[in-house]
Chains A and B, each alone.
Chain A
């Protein structure tokens, strides 16, 4: 009896939650160690290069239309000289109960078999619903068809689509690299393990603050880091169940104590 009930509940949930699955092949997870992050924005630059992000120019930057899929949010607290600057890199959190997936009327954004929140550019009709519902403001819209001046179009990544106007996009966890790693692993008859692939931001990070891997594998680096007591997830109270895990930065409580053992701040 209870088995049937569970099956019915499962079936209902599969209707309610787009892309709902009980079992994922992988559970791609990113761990960002804020104690290591120096806020150098190398990840931002790497993302622009890897994912064919257009540079929109001064005017569009002024009206908040920057294209960076990953951004460093910077917050300043207090008055000089007692100033604390905090920063946090934010990219698509690949939520497991993503608000954006509920909103899209045409399944242009959905959950795939790897637990990734993916965006199908060709299917997107541009209703803006996903971006409005997104609680992290990580979605970017192609306001125009952006052009690259010659010879810059020569450096576009051939593995990644160049998007046209009217299409929503966001961080994909470098899905093109995940695909290559999965294909290679499949040919060799094994699962993807740590070291098979890196995302562009992770690869470019000088302090190794970003780690990427499979949460389903208990021996992966992310699984171990995720057990850290410094672990938290962004806006966790909203119950979006994000796949990006932040490790809290340990900060001084008082100015000038400088021993690094004060109570921690996010």
Chain B
């Protein structure tokens, strides 16, 4: 990135926000339309008629919706990891991608939070899960893992928004100085009167560091708590001590894979190849390889300890998950995409091949979705009393809602790249030499 000037960076980023081609509008309208048609309308129908339109049944009360919820929370961990951990460890290659990663965090937590309402029987009473004072003196149950979820996710969502916003203030100011028309007042307001004084930079760096340190344990706790929704029950296949680290590792794994996929699309569509280089993919794929090995290790431990326990319920759940369930082939597909395919990243040549990156990263996310789905949909149909055993097959409506959520997420991201500086202007400049009268001077 040596041959870029400061001016060029500003102009490039503002260009991604102001110059809009027809392709963008087609993509946005398509995503918004499909999100409404595949998610909004079926969900409305479900609220009107009742949860009976899903494929849920008496032992299997949690299905694809909960799998989606965990999946999207998992995706959200990308932003935290890339942004906060790499910020603290002062890793230079995070600079051009962390802004988008933080946005992914926010949007996927949002999607996940909506899935909580989708899976509820009476979503219009959702506010009863908040601890507010009522004249009826009703209170919430703090022993419930679902209650932990309410707090964890609302805290995580708030912090990730603040984290994203704090880091963007200088960029919003830079955009404010370069746009005209209706954008001017908007960014004037959003940049909070940023002038770029030393004191402002000082406090920005202080507060950003604070949030980076604050958000890492928060992210770990959020996914541990999500895993406790399952692990704190007594259902065989869910009642696993290892679930909390398993979910955290899985979350970082799928989140990083999602970033790789989105970065490929983003740099192609926005023509910012000079900021997101093959070196970035090289590093991200190394991270994916490490996470894949960790995930495989924990997965082996989980299956082994279940098998070693040798109780009838545990044995039946394992047998069902691997061989007998209606979608048991998915288990082996998951092993292929999550444990075997990422091994390709051992080779540098494959790490820097965009094609391999796309294939493997999409594969990982398919595999991670399957993991969450199998945890719910192959444990609950085999609870303790065999008389009540019943398979779960998702209805078309549930599948449609699942697909719709991806379009909803894509829609949010498309809106984001137009209204927000999606590459950090001021941090990218740290990679470029100072502009001197005669050329550049390296750091």
What is the interface of chain A, defined by CB distance below 8 A to chain B?
15-18, 60, 63-66, 71, 73-75, 90, 99, 102-107, 123-129, 131-133, 135-137, 140-145, 165-168, 235, 238, 240
Contacts and interface: CB of A to CB of B under 8 A. Distances in A.
**Main DSSP-derived SS at the B contact region:** loop
Given A90-B385, A106-B140, A165-B51, A126 B150 contact: no
A125 B126 contact: yes
Contacts, number: 142
Contacts of B120: 125-127, 166
Given A105-B144, A145-B50, A167 B150 contact: no
A63 B63 CA distance: 14
Interface string B119-159: 11111011011000000001111111111001000000000
A106 B141 contact: yes
22 contacts: A18-B141, A64-B59, A65-B57, A73-B387, A99-B234, A102-B232, A105-B140, A126-B121, A127-B120, A127-B121, A127-B129, A128-B62, A128-B121, A129-B144, A131-B58, A133-B233, A137-B58, A137-B388, A143-B52, A145-B50, A166-B50, A166-B122
Contacts of A240: 234
A102 B143 contact: yes
A124 B144 contact: no
A65 B56 CA distance: 9
Contacts of A128: 56, 61-62, 119, 121
Given A102-B232, A106-B141, A133-B233, A125 B51 contact: no
B115 to A, nearest CB: 12
Contacts of B50: 142-145, 165-166
Contacts of A123: 128, 138
A143 B126 CA distance: 18
Interface of B: 49-52, 55-59, 61-62, 119-123, 125-126, 128-129, 138-147, 150, 229, 232-235, 380, 383-388, 390
B52 A105 contact: no
Contacts of A124: 121-122
Nearest to A140: B58
A141 to B, nearest CB: 7
Given A105-B140, A137-B388, A140-B58, A60 B234 contact: no
Contacts of B235: 132-133, 135
A129 B235 CA distance: 12
Nearest to A240: B234
